[in-house]
Structure 1
Amino acid sequence: MELQDIDLNLLVVFNELLRQRRVSAVAGTLGISQPAISNALNRLRKILGNELFIRTSKGMIPTPFAETLAEPIGYALGTIHNTLNAPSTFDPASSTRAFTVAMTDIGEIYFLPALMEKLAKVAPGVTTSTVRNQADTLRDEMEKGQVDLGVGFLPDLKTGFFQRRLFRQRYVCIFRKGHPVAKTGMSLKAFSEAEHVSIIAEGTGHGMVDSAIQRAGVGRHIRLRVPHFVAVGHILQTTDLIAVVPEAYAMKTLAPFGLEAVACPVKIPDIVINVLWHARNHREPSNQWLRQLIFEAFSR
């Protein structure tokens, strides 16, 4: 098949159906009638020799073949759109650009205070929103241009993404000042006998902590499981629980909550904190500017 054999508008309809899954919604977005959407889909089915979408009670569900086309077509359309619409330069001082950055609650605690202070000085009109950087949904959101950058430990984002390392991070044990283990020391025996709070952080790479401890054959008494890090400082402050956390989070938490940090007696691999972006935004000026700003502010 040659490019002249296919109408680009058919791919636009295909891409919107993948995103919205309903003919009526796509018709509203593109400003054309529902019969026109159905006609475009029928034409594309004939050209590609595949049903592409199956009508169900939950909407139009893509076939396996359609799913294999999703990423390359979305990327190609995004590249065309950005090329036609992106300005050749970006002026942060006058811009009112709204950025969306994916990061965990640790990222918000560690990065946002300094980042917002920097933006207030060099880009006062720029606004920023954060979303959770769960790899299972983040890939689609970045492919569609809904998220500009991801910051954190995201080892599953590889194909179609660029990344730049900010710093390497180790895991440490934290607990309240006056905790019994502060006197005895954090030996492997003390670690195993202590009561723990385990942070799940689903969808990020931090789940490997539990796996590493299990592989080491170390048992531990998990008294509490929480889905994120934000409450850990409050919990440790008034209990004898301990937690295994990235050192960057520990450094921001010790003083406010009266905690101490020590090396973890179980060998847990260091992690690499990156700034990541989708290939569709690789040459987009405002995206280039923001990721360079983050790199200069936080790389070490």
Structure 2
Amino acid sequence: MEINEIDLNLLVVFNQLLIERRVSAAAETLGLTQPAVSNALARLRRLLGDELFLRTPGGMAPTPRAEMLAQPVADALALIHGAMNQRISFDPATSQRSFNIGMSDIGEIYFLPTLMDALKAQAPQVRISTVRNTAVNLADAMGAGQVDLALGLLPQLKAGFLQRRLFPQGYVCVFRKGHALDSGGKRRLTLAEFSAADHVVVEAAGTGHGRVDEALQRRNIHRTVRLRVPHFVAVGHILSGTDMIATLPQRLAEKIVEPFGLTWSKHPAPLPDTAITMFWHARYHQDPANQWLRDFIYRMFAQKV
């Protein structure tokens, strides 16, 4: 097969289907109709003599041939994209660039108010969109240039990614003011008090915060879990109206205690700090816009030792 036999737009559709695993989602991201994506897939199937994707209850599953083509196609498209969009420099004062940043709801609460206020002064036309790492295949999306950076505790981003540590993250116990455990910050909770309390636990899929549960289990520290939720954004509301307590990252606790009438105590368990890190794909290490955003975020949020 010769290169002039291939419509490169078909490879763009192929790459997006690998990321989204659904025709409707791929069509929406690419700005196409679903029939257009289906027609492109049909053309690729005829061209390559393979089904490429099979419908399953969980979405479009790639065939072995599609999996074999996935990385070479992604590399080729990223190379073309980089060449076509190469810039000698990046001027934040005049740029209208839109950046996509992968982060959790904790990241949105902690980073975005400060980040957006600073951007208004230094890059007034730059726009930010956030992406949940559970909503897309974050590694694939970053490799394809659809997500510029990711912030947080993301142990799944390894081969092909560069990183820069921003700050260590400790954990504290959070509960409403006036709670039976509220001592006005004068003392640390005991393990007995911690275990006896009713807990709300956040199971944040795709992040490393599950390590807290693992650490407690290793130390045989038990707790009564009354509620489990999939994200952190509702925890402030829940704690303010109940007598439950929660183990939360300290920087999140510092942001929500005042708005929700909460307080926090040092954690009674010897939980290790975790590192909140900025990640980017190696393909975009030299991209001027990506470099500028990385440096901008690092200057604002990195904890200087």
- TM-score normalised by structure 1 residue count: 0.84
* Equivalent residue, structure 1, for 2:200: 197
Q: 2:10 is matched with which residue: 10, 13, 23? A: 13
Whichever residue aligns with residue 104 of structure 1, its letter is S
Q: Does 2:245 align with 1:248?
A: no
Relative to structure 1, the CA distance from residue 152 to residue 33 in structure 2 (aligned partners, 3 Å threshold; closer, same or farther) is closer
Q: How much has 1:88 moved relative to structure 2?
A: 1.5
Residues 68-126 of structure 1: per-residue CA shift (max 9 Å, x gap)? 43134302320232123221211111111111111111111111111011100111111
Residues 247-288 of structure 1: per-residue CA shift (max 9 Å, x gap)? 110111222223222221223221111111122322211111
* Equivalent residue, structure 1, for 2:155: 155
Of 4-13 and 94-103, deviating more is 4-13
Query: What percentage of aligned pairs have identical amino acids?
Result: 49
1:222-233 equivalence runs, <5 A:
222-233=225-236
CA distance in 2 between counterparts of 1:36 and 1:234 reads 47
Q: How much has 1:38 moved relative to structure 2?
A: 5.6
Q: How much has 1:214 moved relative to structure 2?
A: 1.8
CA distance in 2 between counterparts of 1:65 and 1:202 reads 30
* Equivalent residue, structure 1, for 2:62: 62
| Partner SS, residue 79 of structure 1 | helix
* Equivalent residue, structure 2, for 1:114: 114
Q: How much has 1:243 moved relative to structure 2?
A: 0.5
Alpha-carbon contact 2:201-2:246 (below 8 Å) kept:
yes
CA distance in 2 between counterparts of 1:288 and 1:63 reads 36
Relative to structure 1, the CA distance from residue 33 to residue 189 in structure 2 (aligned partners, 3 Å threshold; closer, same or farther) is closer
Whichever residue aligns with residue 288 of structure 2, its letter is P
* Equivalent residue, structure 2, for 1:53: 52
| Partner SS, residue 275 of structure 2 | strand
Of 236-245 and 259-268, deviating more is 259-268
Aligned residues: 288
CA distance in 2 between counterparts of 1:52 and 1:288 reads 40
Alpha-carbon contact 1:135-1:157 (below 8 Å) kept:
no
1:172-191 equivalence runs, <5 A:
172-183=172-183, 185-191=188-194
Whichever residue aligns with residue 252 of structure 2, its letter is Y
Relative to structure 1, the CA distance from residue 196 to residue 53 in structure 2 (aligned partners, 3 Å threshold; closer, same or farther) is same
* Equivalent residue, structure 2, for 1:71: 71
CA distance in 2 between counterparts of 1:196 and 1:10 reads 56
Q: Does 2:86 align with 1:83?
A: no
* Equivalent residue, structure 1, for 2:280: 277
CA distance in 1 between counterparts of 2:234 and 2:37 reads 50
Which structure has the highest helix share of the two?
A: 1
| Partner SS, residue 206 of structure 1 | coil
Residues 220-250 of structure 1: per-residue CA shift (max 9 Å, x gap)? 1111111111121222123211100111101
| Partner SS, residue 267 of structure 1 | coil
Alpha-carbon contact 1:96-1:125 (below 8 Å) kept:
yes
Q: Which runs of 5+ in 1 are unaligned?
A: 46-50
Q: Does 2:221 align with 1:218?
A: yes
Q: How much has 1:7 moved relative to structure 2?
A: 5.5
| Partner SS, residue 76 of structure 2 | helix
| Partner SS, residue 115 of structure 1 | helix
Relative to structure 1, the CA distance from residue 113 to residue 267 in structure 2 (aligned partners, 3 Å threshold; closer, same or farther) is same
Alpha-carbon contact 1:152-1:274 (below 8 Å) kept:
yes
| Partner SS, residue 138 of structure 2 | helix
Q: Does 2:137 align with 1:134?
A: no
Q: How much has 1:5 moved relative to structure 2?
A: 6.5
| Partner SS, residue 220 of structure 2 | coil
Residues 136-178 of structure 1: per-residue CA shift (max 9 Å, x gap)? 6212222222211111111111112111111111111111222
* Equivalent residue, structure 2, for 1:48: none
Alpha-carbon contact 1:11-1:73 (below 8 Å) kept:
no
RMSD (CA atoms): 3.0
